Chains A and B, each alone.
Chain A
Amino acid sequence: MAVYGQVILLGMMLFVIGGACVLIRRNLIMILIGVEIMLNAAGIVFIAASLRWGALDGQAFVIFIMAVAAAEVAVGLALIVYCQGRSGSINADTYNTLKG
């Protein structure tokens, strides 16, 4: 299928956008969102590969990616609330206690 390469390109661009979000934004919530976007991009590529080779394994892996994303978001947001309660800020730049 000719579309396959283009789907890979779309997934790649989404992954780069998510990575840029993780690296550039200083808000902890935005960092978690970036990770979500990257996982979603991986899922798109898995489904495209599943269509390309006519096997259902790729779609099965997307189910697991979704489970991992849901668990990661639950624990990550709980951690954000915990850090916010401890330090009063969700700006990643303020976590510099280890700085000499």
Chain B
Amino acid sequence: MTTTVQAFAPVSKEDLAFIGTDPIPTEPYYRSDYFELEREAIFKRSWIQMGHICEIPEPGSFIVRAFEAGNASLLITRDRDGEVRAFHNACPHRGTQLVQVDGGKRSRFTCPYHGWTFSNQGKLLAAPEADKFYINPSDCTLPAVSVGVCAGFIFINLDKSPRQSLQEYLGPLVAELEKLPHARATTYSEYTYEVDANWKLTYDNFQENYHLRFLHPRSGEAAGGPQNPYGYPTRYGFHDPHRSQTIWSNPDAKPLPFQAFAFGKGARHAMEAGYKLEDKEYFGIFPNLFILGAAMTPFSQCIMPIAANKTRSIIRLYWIGEDDSASKRFAREYAMATALDIHCEDRAVIEAGHRGLASGALSHLHFQSQEVLCRHLYNQVDKRVQAYKAELENRGASE
């Protein structure tokens, strides 16, 4: 007796052609001058995720984050009223980075250079020899940065007057994101790695499933199946400048015995928290964050550009509540180690892609229809870069 495999029909190339069909120029993926334009046009003007509210759970909590693409270090605090605030981590006296640790609990910050002291609301509280200056101390607050929170994620915007609030920027995705386990998270696991590759190449690796069967033959075995060998998603959504997709669940997945045991533990905890295992929504938040809303691996990856050819990935699995049993601790460790295994299989090929493009051998690259999210990212980036270049030209013409 033979069984007929019901073929999965991915979203058709005709239905996705509106995002574009042309080859994509390669220079934006490796040239330093293009990266400098991205820095100004995108990273200094967009909402960028810097952390999660669970990192600053109470008044006095603070975190410090490096943000190389914005040429900035950010100090993010929770003040005595519970309000989240963000500042440039720079003393207004002579610019020295005020806080040298990653985070902690402190309601005031003293500059190591000359002892100027600030509250976690950014006010100057004390400056030695203040009467010898020619300034009004109230003019010497820490430089404030716009900050917003959605689904627990803390975003900052270096634009002095952001064109949109965070909620306007995220638009219809706000309601979707707020439903995710991340929004209720109280703790997280985190691993990081750097690649010698452009940030868009790094991001693109996580925006298409075309590569899974080649790069993840073992760890990604369950991602594809007879119905859908490449594991293509069931849906794409475009919410300019953001993207989304619904991850396909393989009905024929056959986890190995120990894997099945570990996943079973994780599944039980996810269901106890009220999440459905079949919900697997992916949100690509422009420019450099993606969030996987899977109940068992509530995951985010922040892709931090360091230079045109260097990128740091910060991967987190967000959890609701501390480990309250050995089984939960084991299931979370297994989930983290599983995600990490998949990431390390991607790393080398991302770097190989950068080397190939940076050689200048190719003028263009090609995205198939199921790599449409990569194309959408490029479109959104280049639109902003071209608008910024026009802005510079107009500025030059009017001067």
**A and B pair up:** no
State the A residues within 8 Å of B (CB): none
